[in-house]
Structure 1
Amino acid sequence: MMHWFDNCAGFQGGGIMMIGMFLFWGVLVLLGVFLLKNYMNGNKRSTHHIDILKERLARGEITVEEYDRLKEKL
């Protein structure tokens, strides 16, 4: 009975599996970096929006009630 990896085909199959493993781990690392970057930027965005609301309140563009309502939405 013939096996799948007879006659040096084992080396070729191992090479294909190695490439697949590198691709898998590469995609996993890139996904982790992407998610971490978005998480860190998300925190900056909400702080930035609250700062804008504070400036608008200080200039008198919005009332305290509007400030509280918009801050809750953020």
Structure 2
Amino acid sequence: MTAFQIGDQVRLKSGGPVMTVSGTVTTQGTYQCRWFDTSHAAASFAEYFHPDTLHKFEEPDADAIRKKIGLTGTN
């Protein structure tokens, strides 16, 4: 079972929005996560998820992506 900290950014393994862990493990072994949906006037949602359904979200390395596609900043 993966352990997450409050403030970690996570996403469901099946996809979906990036969420923030906002609560510790409950007695059922789940984490409370919050996310925003801008299509609903930036509404905030919260739900509990089992840690086996989540993975930590890592921001992509923008500089590595630019280099890979040939955008070196010297246009």
Say whether the fold is shared (TM-score over 0.5).
no
Which one scores higher on RCO, CA 8 angstroms, separation ≥ 6?
Answer: 2
Say which structure is richer in strand. Answer: 2
Larger Rg: 1
Say which structure is richer in helix. Answer: 1
TM-score w.r.t. structure 2 length? 0.23
TM-score w.r.t. structure 1 length? 0.23
